Amino acid sequence: MNARTLRLIGITGLVLTVLVALDGIYMLVTNYKPDDASNNILHLTDGANLLIAAGFLLIISIVAFLLSRQAARRETSADTIGATPTSTASSSATSVVNDEVGTQSTTQPEIQR
């Protein structure tokens, strides 16, 4: 994945994290407990479940942002490794050839087909 895609995943994850966390906090503050059929002691309320989900989304968003920064660094380092300086690139475009008379003529490189 490229850096832009990972950054968009991170931003989307953060937006969802905020929305899910706000809903979970609202459910905890208003003591929202629908009539459940389960009397299990480990059964969490809906607000607690949403806060746990928001925590997982936050972790995913942070990992996506860290991976996007690493991918951006990798892309920029790959660009600088393959780049050639402009002075050598312009000098290789035309070459100067000395004639027998001593005058200089420029020749263009042949296009290979």
pTM equals 0.62
For 74-110, b/e burial (b = at least 16 CB within 10 A) is eeeeeeeeeeeeeeeeeeeeeeeeeeeeeeeeeeeee
**How high is the mean pLDDT of the chain?**
78
Q: What's the pLDDT band for 107 if we cut at 50, 70, 90? A: low
- Residue 16: the pLDDT is 96
d(CA 57, CA 20): 9
Instruction: Find out whether 28 and 51 touch, Cβ atoms under 8 Å.
Output: yes
Tens-place pLDDT, residues 24-64: 999 999 988 776 666 777 778 889 999 999 999 999 999 99
β-partners of residue 106 are 96
Q: What is the mean pLDDT of residues 90-109?
A: 53
